[in-house]
Structure 1
């Protein structure tokens, strides 16, 4: 696996996933160096954006958070991303047996890392935390990630496209359940008074 794999995933995803499929490659070692950046960058962008510009949710005045709240939100964001990333790797590895994939964990690790990479690019939008702008960028980013997942999973795991589509759909369902659960937990915490202090 070359250093250009992530760039290939953006420009030539089919070649990148073929490279990931090679079990004897150094995919895991190279991508292990990239994962901290993928998980740390979005929370850092949130911390910077909410401090520099404040959140805009359709109102004329920006909503600013105190530094403690910003740090807590960014830390929780990092925890949520980390849990989502690593749980998806292990869930995909567990599902792989059902769909006829016989690959070691490092292949799944590399696959999910490449699929996740567009989210890093999209998270740059957090620097200007306008709710509607971020929502639009998030939707486009998710489409990009899902395209990589559906196209790349059968290639990386060397399984038939039909099984790849079913397994990809199962992973998307897992992520949707996680996202809805996270929203529910957030609403519950805010309802009982555990939330950031907001100042206009």
Structure 2
């Protein structure tokens, strides 16, 4: 029985990475087709959870946004995810030449789709948007994604493990800088009065 590519990302990520490494064009394309769903899942779950339950910070009362503001924040969340994903793909492809990788762009897209799948699925925790609950859900997913990144990148790009470790660490550094920059920009806009109006 043929396994759906989305379920194979979660149940057999190693096999999926091996197929990508073998330049299985059909499998690579099928993995890439899962990307829109994985990008849409976090903002949709965050929007639904925010409207139904409201965001909870500790034991305080839940915080709510108006429906229009919730949609706007979710769209910005989607744009941030798209920017993060595609900028990482392009940066990895550019960086890969330094480490001796010659893989085409679709291989990078498929690889980072596999790496990001655990985080996307863990975003189901956004349906109940309590900060600590979401942190507890994201930590194992982050460890899983980092494991896939460090173990899978040298195999998929056909580079030595030492180079793969260095390249993976450089990409993690880029993602950390981008995440902190996004937080800083968000805080600055909110302080300037451009953030959404919260109601309790």
- Unpaired runs of 5+ in structure 2? none
Q: Which residue of 2 aligns with 1:65?
A: 65
Q: Does 1:19 align with 2:19?
A: yes
Partners of 1:27 and 1:106 within 8 A in 2: no
1:113 aligns with 2:129: no
- Deviation string 1:19-41 (CA, Å, 9 cap, x unpaired) is 10123522443133211101111
Give yes or no for the alignment of 1:199 onto 2:196.
no
Answer yes or no: is 1:42 the counterpart of 2:42.
yes
Supply the RMSD in Å over aligned alpha carbons. Answer: 1.6
Partners of 1:167 and 1:132 lie apart in 2 by 32
User: In terms of mean alpha carbon deviation, does 108-117 or 18-27 score higher?
Assistant: 18-27
Q: Tell me if the contact between 2:5 and 2:34 (Cα under 8 Å) persists in the aligned partners.
A: no
Quote the Cα distance in structure 2 between the aligned partners of 1:3 and 1:107. 20
Aligned residues: 199
Q: TM-score, normalised by structure 1?
A: 0.93
TM-score normalised by the chain length of structure 2: 0.93
Q: Superposition pairs for residues 110-149 of structure 1, below 5 Å?
A: 110-149=110-149
CA distance in 2, matches of 1:111, 1:180: 24
Aligned to 1:155: 155
C-alpha distance 81-145 of structure 1, shift in aligned 2 (>3 A): same
Question: Relative to structure 2, which stretch is displaced further, 143-152 or 5-14?
Answer: 5-14
Gaps of 5+ in 1: none
1:168 matched to 2:168? The reply is yes
Structure 1 residue 85: deviation in Å? 0.5
Change (3 A) 1:43 1:73: same
Given that residues 23 and 103 in structure 1 are in contact (C-alpha distance below 8 angstroms), is that contact kept between their aligned partners in structure 2?
Answer: no
Give 1:3 shift: 5.1
Equivalent residues in 2 for 1:64-83, closer than 5 Å: 64-83=64-83
> Alpha-carbon deviation of 1:61?
1.5
